[in-house]
Amino acid sequence: LYVLANEPSVALFRLQEHVRRSLPELAQHKSDMQNWEEQSQGAIYTVEYACSAIKNMTDSSVYFKSIDSLLKHAIAMKDQLNSAQAR
């Protein structure tokens, strides 16, 4: 009985039985992990895109300051024109 229980063909049968039982669960886990990886890659892309947009906004602060000074200058000129027309 001991020899029969430890025979290589019985061991292979046990391995095959184990694989047959555990394979569907492992395949499901693999599928779940692939889905999570896709979602993670999408989230990483979104975060990188947002960081890039924020960096571009901070880099454009020079242009906003220039626009602000030009608008203040234009308002001052308009006030001067209005006061000249009022005379």
Q: Which residue shows structure tokens 């394979």?
A: 23
**Residue 3: pLDDT over 80:** no
Amino acid, res. 26: L
pLDDT in tens, 13-68: 888 899 999 999 999 999 999 999 999 999 999 999 999 999 888 888 888 899 99
Residue spans of the domains in the chain: they are: 3-86
- C-alpha span between 34 and 40 (Å, rounded): 10
In tens, the pLDDT along 9-23 reads: 888 888 889 999 999
Rounded to whole angstroms, how far apart are CA atoms 62 and 59?
A: 7
Q: Model pTM?
A: 0.51
CA atoms within a 13 Å half-sphere pointing along the CA-CB vector of 65: 5
